[in-house]
Amino acid sequence: MISAEKEILPILNQQELYTVEPTHLHVASSDIVETIDVNVFYGDFHALKDVNLAIKKNSVTALIGPSGCGKTTFLRLLNRMNDYIPSHMVRGKVLINGVDIYRDKIEIEQLRKEVGMVFQKPNPFPKSIFENVAYGLRIQGIKDKHLIHERVINAIQQVGLWNEVKDNLRKNALALSGGQQQRVCIARTLAVEPDIILMDEPTSALDPISTSRIEELILQLKQKYTIIIVTHNMQQASRISDTTAFFYLGELIEVGKTTDIFTNPRNERTERYITGRFG
Amino acid sequence: MNNQVKNRIKDKLFSIWGWISVSIGIVALAVFIIDILFDGLPVLSFRFLTSLPSRIPEKAGIFTAMMGTVWIFILTAVIAFPLGVASGVYLEEYGIKNRLSKLLEINIANLAGVPSIIYGLLGLEIFVRIFRLGNSILAGSLTLALLILPIIIVSTREAIKAVPQSLRDASYALGATKWQTIWYQVLPASFGGILTGVILALSRAIGEAAPLIVVGALAYVPFAPTSPMDNFSVLPIQIFNWISRPQKGFIQNAAAAIIVLLIITFLLNGIAMYMRNRWQRKMKI
């Protein structure tokens, strides 16, 4: 699928590429994220090998695979969170909205406003619920109280937390339950109004009820955002994702429509993994 | 079976050994405090706190020494706190981790163990002579600030190290810069630990006599200091001076001054613990 697109591109007339309305250019324009021959190294360790993956706007993409297969590395590649690991090196292209985030001159802080992230364990700041959600706006230097208030409330409403917390927005976020904390973390990400939200096993520390609420939320958020989620839970991947990508030992083994991957995997390793025979 | 009995005996023996060790410390401290209270309490009065030093024990008071200690405490805190915390933050967050930084780390830890009189000599040369600050409160405070900097740096680094990575990740992922992450997340989360280190260091500083004697603090100062450039005395020096006199009256004065110094230290530590606990409660829920 990816290679097919890459072959089509050169065939298109260059002139056409510039004149045609972006929305009509299905091949190039709907991919909000595209990686081309991406390799990641941690010192001698080759963590990602020639990964080519394109992700469509307003879709949910699940990254699956056994532990240590590179799916979290791939996720953190997209908002440059791996930069903090010493001896970390990236080769190849990582395009977000057509910009190569490792080669082109970009502000890393700006990138992270466009590509938000939700972590495995809920990690709210030890501040009030309101201040947690407002943090991303305050660090941008936004001083307008009405704007902050509006965006914070909007974000809390989007994650379905409003009725639970509307009377105590000043309460410390750490006093909330795990599931509520994780929704505060999602609200905090939404308040910055990103295009893409990366989620690194966002429900693995939560109980089943909180998990299903987060899953419903992800399906709603798809309307406005592009979501890329790492999960160890096969049912979760099949419930919420449009596209599934299977990683194994640093390679992208197979990527396709979730229904295809789960009913009719092309690769034998994918099949063995999703049926639980290894991993 | 036999082995089990042996282990139990060892267990018992160690707990007895530990109990004795603790008791020795507590008994020694208790004897010291009771002795001091017997000698000092009868002398301790409002007059004693507000009188100037004198040749006659009954007229002598600790007003100048106490004001000197307050001046030294505040100035030392103002100098050492920003320098120490900034150094700790830099070394932990910005400094490149290599063999040189490792060496630096070991040296800072070593500096915390250097005898205070050595710092006094350093202060005498640099602040009193080269900077021409004279035998002033400022020279004394700068010297004490140097003395406690290693303690503050080390405790700042430890406190910062204890901040979970997940907190930094959360901040960075929202587009915060390194400085914003440090200022809004790392420092508030570690402030309780930093404060503890700073207060412990400061309560050590106000108990010091040796480096201040070298820098030129006087035993007899007729007036309480009014500016950082004034001559000064501090409680430990006043105590040291009185103890070396032959008259019984001065020994009692020394005991009373020790009580005052103990109370000041106790209060400072109390305030520190209160602030730390309050801060940590706020950070935890």
pLDDT digits (tens, 9 = 90+) for A214-230: 999 999 999 999 999 99
pLDDT value for B177: 93
Which secondary structure element, helix H or strand E, spans residue A261, and what is its range? helix A258-263
* A81: chain B residues, CB-CB within 8 Å: 169, 172-173
Q: Give me the residue from B164, B173, B285 closest to A116, CB to CB.
A: B173
> Predicted confidence band at A61 (pLDDT cuts at 50, 70, 90)?
very high
Q: Give me the residue from B170, B177, B188 closest to A119, CB to CB.
A: B170
CA B147 to chain A, closest CA, distance in angstroms equals 34
pLDDT value for B284: 63
**Closest chain A CA to residue B280:** A126
**A144 domain-assigned:** yes
Instruction: Clarify whether residues B21 and B151 are in a common domain.
Output: no
**A240 domain-assigned:** yes
pLDDT value for A211: 92
pLDDT value for A29: 55
Instruction: Clarify whether residues B7 and B142 are in a common domain.
Output: no
| B175 backbone φψ class: left, alpha, beta (φ>0; ψ -120 to 50) | left
Instruction: Clarify whether residues B163 and B203 are in a common domain.
Output: yes
Q: How far is CA A21 from the centre of its chain?
A: 27
pLDDT value for A185: 95
A122 has pLDDT over 90: yes
CATH at residue A58: 3.40.50.300
**Closest chain A CA to residue B178:** A109
Number of domains in chain B: 2
Domain with A81 in it? 2-274
Owner of token pair 């009405």:
A146
Alpha carbons within 13 angstroms on the beta-carbon side of residue B238 total: 35
Instruction: Clarify whether residues B33 and B129 are in a common domain.
Output: no
pLDDT (average), residues A255-276 = 89
How much is the mean pLDDT over chain A? 86
B247 versus A119: which is more confidently predicted? Answer: A119
Which SS3 state, helix, strand or coil, does residue B77 take?
Answer: helix
A8 has pLDDT over 50: no
How far apart, in whole angstroms, are the C-alpha atoms of residue B149 and residue A257?
A: 61
- The ipTM (two decimal places) reads 0.84
According to the per-residue pLDDT averaged within each range, which of A23-32, A77-86, A235-244, B242-251 is highest? A235-244
Instruction: Clarify whether residues B16 and B142 are in a common domain.
Output: no
Phi, psi torsion values for B222, nearest 5 degrees? -75, -20
How far apart, in whole angstroms, are the C-alpha atoms of residue B239 and residue B251?
A: 9
> Predicted confidence band at A106 (pLDDT cuts at 50, 70, 90)?
confident
C-beta of residue A230 within 8 angstroms of C-beta of residue A63? yes
A14 has pLDDT over 70: no
Instruction: Clarify whether residues B19 and B103 are in a common domain.
Output: no
Q: Across chain B, where does the E strand assignment appear?
A: none
| Per-residue model confidence as pLDDT tens digits over A173-199 | 999 999 999 999 999 999 999 999 999
CA-CA-CA-CA dihedral for A186, A191, A192, A195, to nearest 10? 60
CATH at residue B195: 1.10.3720.10
Which SS3 state, helix, strand or coil, does residue A174 take?
Answer: helix
**A279 domain-assigned:** no
Which secondary structure element, helix H or strand E, spans residue B108, and what is its range? helix B99-111
Which SS3 state, helix, strand or coil, does residue A50 take?
Answer: strand
Q: Which two tokens stand for residue B136?
A: 């002033």
SS (H, E, C) B7-36: HHHHHHHHHHHHHHHHHHHHHHHHHHHHHH
Positions in chain B short of pLDDT 70: 1, 284-285
How far apart, in whole angstroms, are the C-alpha atoms of residue A12 and residue B228?
A: 79
Domain with B175 in it? 47-284
**Closest chain A CA to residue B174:** A136
Number of domains in chain A: 1
> Predicted confidence band at A24 (pLDDT cuts at 50, 70, 90)?
very low
How far apart, in whole angstroms, are the C-alpha atoms of residue B52 and residue A62?
A: 79
What length does chain B have?
A: 285
First to last CA, chain A: 26
Instruction: Clarify whether residues B29 and B111 are in a common domain.
Output: no
Instruction: Clarify whether residues B20 and B138 are in a common domain.
Output: no
How far apart, in whole angstroms, are the C-alpha atoms of residue B149 and residue B168?
A: 26
B272 versus A108: which is more confidently predicted? Answer: A108
Substitution target from B163, B168, B174, B178 for chain A, most A beta carbons within 10 A = B174
pLDDT value for A1: 42
C-beta of residue B211 within 8 angstroms of C-beta of residue B123? yes
Instruction: Clarify whether residues B87 and B167 are in a common domain.
Output: yes
How far apart, in whole angstroms, are the C-alpha atoms of residue A236 and residue A211?
A: 9
Owner of token pair 């070396």:
B244
